[in-house]
Structure 1
């Protein structure tokens, strides 16, 4: 396909970008104290250096062995032990832990109990099953450092956890907040939309100074969370208003005459998503990167969630 046939999108605001990657394709930087983060500008991982070894959180395949290079670079400069003692899985999805097999089999792998169940079913050699699991909370202590893992119920996935490093005032929650950017399509492909929306408040209720969201090229702030929450709440309100006001008659008239039920659904749902997205795109373009790229698909996810999760079926719930 020729590039001139592809759509054009609004420029990305400068503050949405993070630091430039090096010649090997990654950036590693200190968050605070002994905590570091690694990014390839698309995905993120973090690691904590201690006197007894390194604790790693997530192993995205796009970063791959550059994660090992980043750890070696930091520990050599700081004269700290370079061997990885523990690997924590934020959740089961392959795009965040699909390079977990690069670590030695002797590494202790920690995850939520649901993650273990999902990985046992997946049987993916690149995502070894964790050998330590927890239900509600777990505190990991290594070399004088501490990580607090907690589960607050489903959000993006059934098993997604919060990882907090108190000494660095840092929280890592993956696939919920996208600092500086609109959420990925279909509200981050989340499996539980109401819970994913509610997770914004849980993030804000947790003590932290710096957020690692697992995606894109920069760290997050509380202002980033508040801005994304505003975006989501306004999209929810717009979606509810459209479902309450959009006249279904033209869709039934045009497609009902031929008995094409799926065409009625598709045309109505597409129109509802487009109308719900339009004012939000207009307001957030220039404030959130790619607001014009994924807001319509995010609205589509909300249209379905409003119908299915909230019970507002619109014209398809009317008894005739």
Structure 2
């Protein structure tokens, strides 16, 4: 698919959770999907995944659970991530991705049993309203305090999805949640991936949770992670780095992140922005509009494809072997950044004399 024909954001959101579930299902199925794919030699080849992008293997039930710091743990199915904090008064869960589903409670049970603590989830903190991160929330029943941004409550009320109960407690800009003697700092620093996506900081555990911004070790998903506010998303890593933290949960893929991962991701995006600005000057629209005449969309499509290729090619070359799937999704991310640089920043805009 060409970069400028990227499907709209809503079509991605509608199918994203189902698509993302496939890798986890393939793992549980013992590689049957991989064998079927291997038989189709018409599929494109991509660069090998750097070993540094891969996380720990999942168990026979399809999940991995590990300690981040002290009594804070993370869970992954290789494609999605959640985290939980055990306390003397119960468990605080951060997001509930449906692809992990019932394995969330199994992971909590595993840790609680090993450490002799309660396995009862008393709170769920919502990072943002998207179903692919909250669609298993209803598994924990109504006797749970759900906490999220005020906009999260509004959006979930609009969506009316029984798998994602609306938050019981909300905040506008900042909220310190205290459960069982533990401290969790919640903050909203403006729109980024969505209007309600928040920063979740656990200062005593050296951990920041910021979902759907940086996917450690990997380039963003198609269309720059389907970010609704591109300038806000570009600015988010710098805001994240103002917090003190060692461990990072990005919500996706099979490993946690570090501060260096955030720096590399920042540079990747900066390189794309720089490439897009150069493309807006360097790529001549004349041949495209000359060839296609009154077929305006054909002219615009091929012109923007050329701009995207100009911007993305050196970035793909630079980050192949550094960030996984640089050759898979960089072009679609470049297209969304191209549109933002044109429309949000006004770069390349010309006033007719």
Cα deviation for residue 261 of structure 1 reads: 1.3
Distance in 2, Cα, partners of 1:308 & 1:99: 37
Unpaired segments of 5 or more residues in structure 1?
A: none
Q: CA deviation at 1:184?
A: 1.2
The equivalent of 2:194 in structure 1 is 157
- Residue 118 of structure 1 aligns with which residue? 155
- Which residue in 2 is equivalent to 1:268? 303
Q: Aligned equivalents of 1:212 and 1:57: distance in 2?
A: 10
Retained in 1: the 8 A contact 2:281–2:348?
A: no
Is 2:216 the counterpart of 1:179? yes
Q: 2:235 — aligned with what?
A: 198
Aligned residues: 316
The answer to whether structure 1 residue 291 and structure 2 residue 326 are counterparts is yes
Tell me the distance in 2 between the aligned counterparts of 1:291 and 1:171. 25
> Is the partner of 1:101 in helix, strand or coil?
helix
SS, match of residue 48 in structure 1: strand
Deviation at 1:319, TM superposition (A): 2.1
Aligned to 2:100: 63
Structure 1 runs (4+) deviating above 4 angstroms are none
Q: What are the superposed Cα offsets for residues 148-202 of structure 1, whole Å, 9 maximum, x if unpaired?
A: 1111000011000011111211000000111111111111110010110000100
Alignment of 1:40-119 (within 5 A): 40-119=77-156
What is the aligned-residue RMSD (CA, Å)? 1.1
Gaps of 5+ in 2: 1-36
What residue in structure 1 maps to residue 315 of structure 2? 280
Using the TM superposition, give the Cα deviation of residue 65 of structure 1 relative to its aligned residue in structure 2, in angstroms. Answer: 0.5
SS in 2 for 1:235: helix
Give, in angstroms, the shift of residue 313 of structure 1.
4.5
Deviations 1:83-137 (A, max 9, x none): 1110010000111111111012010000000000000100001111111000011
Counterpart position of 2:335 = 300
Supply the distance in 2 between the matched residues of 1:204 and 1:26 (Cα, whole angstroms): 29
Q: Deviations over 1:48-74 (max 9, x none)?
A: 000100000000011000001001111
Q: Which piece of structure 1 moves more, 200-209 or 305-314?
A: 305-314
- Per the TM alignment, residue 312 of structure 1 is displaced from its structure 2 partner at its CA by 2.5
Say yes or no: does 1:319 pair with 2:352. yes
Quick one: distance in 2 between partners of 1:3 and 1:162?
42
Pairs within 5 Å for 1:134-283: 134-256=171-293, 259-283=294-318
In the alignment, the residues of structure 2 paired with residue 319 and residue 6 of structure 1 have an alpha-carbon distance, to the nearest angstrom, of: 46
Q: Partners of 1:214 and 1:247 in 2: how far apart? A: 40
Partners of 2:343 and 2:183 in 1: CA distance: 41
* Distance across 2 between alignment mates of 1:23 and 1:170: 28
Q: With structure 2 as the length reference, what TM-score do the two structures score?
A: 0.88
- SS of 1:114's equivalent in the other structure is helix
Whole-Å separation in 1 of the counterparts to 2:254 and 2:341: 32
The alpha-carbon deviation at position 206 of structure 1 amounts to 1.1
